[in-house]
Structure 1
Amino acid sequence: MSESTQASVAASVRDVISAHTQAQDAGQTDETVALYAPDAVLEIPGFDPITGHDALREAFKGWAPTQPQKHLVANTVITSWTEDEATAVSDVAFFQRGESGWAVQVVGRYEDTLRRYDGTWLIHHRTTTYIV
């Protein structure tokens, strides 16, 4: 794979992860779900695996923000890639704004597998872990 292809894959992966964060924090359920493959799996501690667009839509509706929130995703490292699949690891801190201001609620990590479907990169599998 050429350097330009590697750079393109890395940029595409980071764009999807960033778009997911922005849409989720804005409470844009349909936009969030559209970033997942139709058969995608989302694993989050305390929940059974969430599989497919319908289940993802219900989950993200239930998690819609009721107060200002931000997922700050950083340190994304692309751990493997081809022209059609990539894996990445990212650190995440989840903040909410309450009466006392912004406060960190959760710190964790995303482990993502993304695939290209008809030229569009989508999340195929995401595992979230929390750091305690």
Structure 2
Amino acid sequence: MSETVQALVAAGVRAAIGAHTRAQDAGRTDDIVALYVPDAVLEVPGLAPVEGHDALREAFKGWAPAKPQLHLVSNTVITSWTEEEATAVSDVVFFQRGESGWAVQVVGRYDDTLRCQDGAWRFRRRTTTYQA
């Protein structure tokens, strides 16, 4: 694969991850769901896998922020890629703002598989693990 294609894949994957993070922190459920392929799977510790747009919509509605929150996603590494599919791993720290200010709630990792459909990168699978 050419360096140009590799750079385009990396940019597309990182853009999808960033868009997901921003939409989730803003509680924009429909924007989040639009970032997933129709048969996508989301795995979160302690929950049954969430499969498909309808289930994703219900899950993210239930997780809509009740108070200010912030997911800081960093150290994203694209671990494999083709022009149609890519995998990436990222670290994530989840903060919520309470009465005494911002506090870390969760430290974890995202393992993502994304597929390029109609020129846009969309999540096929996201597996979240918690580190602390």
Fold-level similarity (TM above 0.5): yes
Cα distance in 2 for partners of 1:65, 1:119 equals 30
Letter in 2 for 1:58: E
Is 1:44 the equivalent of 2:52?
no
Cα distance in 2 for partners of 1:117, 1:49 equals 23
- Aligned-partner SS, 2:103: strand
What per-residue deviation string (whole Å, max 9, x for no partner) do you get for residues 69-103 of structure 1?
Answer: 00000000000000000000000000000000000
Give the aligned CA root-mean-square deviation in angstroms. 0.4
The Cα of 1:42 is off from its aligned counterpart by: 0.1
Aligned to 1:9: 9
Aligned to 1:108: 108
Cα distance in 2 for partners of 1:60, 1:3 equals 36
- Aligned-partner SS, 2:27: coil
Aligned to 2:126: 126
Cα distance in 1 for partners of 2:10, 2:25 equals 23
Aligned to 1:72: 72
What per-residue deviation string (whole Å, max 9, x for no partner) do you get for residues 6-46 of structure 1?
Answer: 00000000000000000000000000110001000000001
Structure 1 regions of 5+ residues with no counterpart? none
Letter in 1 for 2:95: F
Cα distance in 1 for partners of 2:94, 2:37 equals 24
TM-score normalised over the length of structure 2: 0.99
Share of identical aligned residues, percent? Answer: 75
Cα distance in 2 for partners of 1:118, 1:93 equals 31
- Aligned-partner SS, 1:21: helix
Letter in 2 for 1:16: A
TM-score normalised over the length of structure 1: 0.99
Letter in 2 for 1:71: H
The Cα of 1:120 is off from its aligned counterpart by: 1.5
Letter in 1 for 2:105: Q
Structure 2 regions of 5+ residues with no counterpart? none
Matched residue count: 132
Aligned to 2:33: 33
Aligned to 1:88: 88
